Structure 1
C-alpha cells in the first residue's frame, strides 16, 4: 500500500546538501535540478524510524525500515533492506512550475547566522557560521510498500514528528505531517 502525505513547515528549515560555500556560506540547502528545495526520502525514513523505535516491536521495525549489521563498516548477512520506500518530499508540481516560470526560486531561501558563545557570554573568534535556510513551505511525498497491518502505525509515527532537518533541536524545522490518503 502507498501512503501520501504533506509535510508542512511552519518555520525556517534546512535539509543539508553536504556542500559548503567556503568563506561565503557554511551550509547549503539541498536542491533539485530546478533549484527547488526538497526533503530527502532517507531523512524522512530516519525521522519515522526514530519515532517507530519508541513504540514498534523490533521485528516490525526491521521489516519496514531494514536492519543494519551489528558489525560497523562491514557487510554482513544480517543487514537487510526494509520493505517500505520513502520518496523525496517535494513542492507540488503546479506550484514548482509557477515558481520557476516566474524566476521566484531565490525567494524561497534566506540566511541565518550563528556563533559560539564562551562561558563569559562573549562570541568565540572565528565561530560565526552562515546557514542557508528555506522559508516555510508545504512539500508532498509518499511511502510505498507499507503492509496493511503497518499502515495505522506508520500514520501515527508521521504525526509524532514535529521537527525536521538541521538544528531541529535548536529551533529550526517545526513541521507537521498530514496524511492525504492511501491506496
Structure 2
C-alpha cells in the first residue's frame, strides 16, 4: 500500500531557483510566468536531507545512485512540481511582474575595503509566497519518514546559506488549497 503526501511550502524570504538552461540569473517560471519549484529540484534537496534517515529509505523512495556495472533501481516516489494554487494564479494573472525583485551584490576588495572593479551582479528573486505539491506512491512504511524529511527542509535555492530561500513546509491533510 502506498500513500500520497500533500504539502505546502511557504518561502519566508526572497528565493531563487533557476533552470540552469540560460546564463542569466532569472528565476524559473512556468508557461504563465509564475515561479515554481521543479519536481527534480525538490527531489534532489529532499534526497540530501533524507540521507540522514538511512539508505533503505533513500534507495526505496528516491532510487539508487548509478554505480558501475549495475543498473540502478528507480525510486518508488513520484514528485510533482510545487506551484501556486489556481485561485492565487487567477488573482495574479496580470500582475506576475510583482512576484519578482532584483537583488544586487558585489565583491569587496579586502585590501582597500571597497567594491572590486566589475564585480557588480544582479539576480532576479521571487518574493515570499506559498506553493503546493504532492508526493505520490510513498510506501506506507516510509510515510512518516518522508513527512519528517519534508519538515526538516529549511531552505533551498541559490545562496540558501546566505539568507535566501528560507522556508517552512506544512503537511496538508488532503488536497486543501492545491486546486482552489
TM-score of the two chains, using structure 2 as the length reference: 0.89
Q: 2:100 aligns with which of 106, 109, 116?
A: 109
Query: 5+ unaligned residues in a row in structure 1: which ranges?
Result: none
Q: SS where residue 59 of structure 2 aligns? A: helix
CA distance in 2: counterparts of 1:50 and 1:11, whole angstroms: 22
Q: 1:160 aligns with which of 152, 157, 162?
A: 152
CA distance in 1: counterparts of 2:75 and 2:114, whole angstroms: 47
The size of the alignment, in residue pairs, is: 172
Change (3 A) 1:80 1:117: farther
CA distance in 1: counterparts of 2:72 and 2:140, whole angstroms: 24
Q: SS where residue 80 of structure 1 aligns? A: coil
Structure 1 equivalent of residue 109 of structure 2:
118
Q: SS where residue 165 of structure 1 aligns? A: coil
Structure 2 equivalent of residue 93 of structure 1:
86
Q: In the TM superposition, what whole-angstrom CA distance separates every residue of 1:113-170 from its partner, at most 9, and x where no partner exists?
A: 1112232233222221110000000000010110111000111111111111111011
Q: SS where residue 102 of structure 2 aligns? A: strand
Change (3 A) 1:52 1:182: farther
Structure 2 equivalent of residue 128 of structure 1:
120
Check the 8 A contact 1:69/1:79 in 2, yes or no. yes
Q: SS where residue 161 of structure 2 aligns? A: helix
Within 5 Å, which residues of 2 pair with 1:61-72? Answer: 61-71=58-68
Q: SS where residue 79 of structure 1 aligns? A: coil
TM-score of the two chains, using structure 1 as the length reference: 0.88
Check the 8 A contact 1:3/1:179 in 2, yes or no. yes
Q: SS where residue 150 of structure 1 aligns? A: helix
Check the 8 A contact 1:112/1:132 in 2, yes or no. yes
